[in-house]
Amino acid sequence: MSGYRLCLREVILVLSSALDFVGVDDIRHGKRVAFMAAECARRAGWSPEEINRLLILGLLHDCGVSSSHVHQHLVEEWDWDHSHEHALRGAELLGATRLLAEYAEPVRYHHTHWSELQALALPDDLCRQSNLIYLVDRVDALRAQQSSPEAAMLPRSYWGEAISRHAGSEFDPALCQLFYLASDNDAFWMQQDAEVLDDYLMSWAHGGAMVAVEYEALLELAFMFANIVDSKSEFTYRHSLGVKAVASLLADVQQLDTGERESVTLVALLHDLGKLRVDDAVLEKPGPFDERERLLMHRHCFDTWQLLQRIRGFESIARLASMHHETLDGLGYPRGLTANELPRSARLIAVADVFQALVQNRPYRQPMLLSEALEVMTQMVARGKLDPEQVGLLFLHAQEAYRLARQHEPGSVRSDGENR
Residue 82's SS3 state is coil
Q: Of 31, 393, 396, 33, give the one whose Cα is nearest residue 179.
A: 33
**Taking a C-beta distance cutoff of 8 angstroms, is the pair 163, 138 a contact?**
yes
Sign for the CA dihedral angle at 363, 367, 371, 373 comes to positive
Q: Of 151, 51, 61, give the one whose Cα is nearest residue 105.
A: 61
Residue 4's SS3 state is strand
Beta bridge partners of 211: 6
Q: Is 385 annotated in the active site?
A: no
Instruction: Could you list the beta-strand ranges (E) of 299-415.
Output: none
d(C-alpha 53, C-alpha 37), whole Å: 10
Average pLDDT of adjacent 10-residue blocks, the chain of 420 residues: 83 92 75 97 97 98 86 85 94 97 98 95 96 96 74 74 93 96 92 94 96 95 90 75 96 96 97 86 81 87 95 95 97 96 98 94 82 97 98 98 78 38
Residue in 232, 244, 275, 285 annotated catalytic: 275
Predicted local distance difference test score (pLDDT) of residue 280: 76
Neighbours of 341 (CB within 10 A): 13
Q: Of 311, 341, 316, give the one whose Cα is nearest residue 326.
A: 341
Predicted local distance difference test score (pLDDT) of residue 232: 76
**Taking a C-beta distance cutoff of 8 angstroms, is the pair 46, 18 a contact?**
no
d(C-alpha 134, C-alpha 132), whole Å: 5
Q: What is the CA radius of gyration of the chain?
A: 23
334 cis-preceded (ω within 30 degrees of 0): yes
C-alpha separations of 343 from 347, 349, 385, 389 in Å:
7, 10, 14, 13
Predicted local distance difference test score (pLDDT) of residue 23: 61
Whole-prediction pTM value? 0.90
d(C-alpha 344, C-alpha 348), whole Å: 6
Give the burial string for 66-80 (b: 16+ CB within 10 Å, else e): bbbebbbebbeeeeb
**Taking a C-beta distance cutoff of 8 angstroms, is the pair 114, 131 a contact?**
yes
Sign for the CA dihedral angle at 279, 284, 290, 295 comes to positive
Angle at 223 between CA 219 and CA 226, to 5 degrees: 135
Q: Of 58, 19, 29, give the one whose Cα is nearest residue 273.
A: 19
d(C-alpha 67, C-alpha 289), whole Å: 20
Name all domains of the chain by residue range, CATH numbers in brackets: 4-206 (1.10.3210.10), 230-406 (1.10.3210.10)
C-alpha separations of 221 from 18, 128, 353, 407 in Å:
14, 27, 20, 22
Predicted local distance difference test score (pLDDT) of residue 247: 98
d(C-alpha 15, C-alpha 9), whole Å: 10
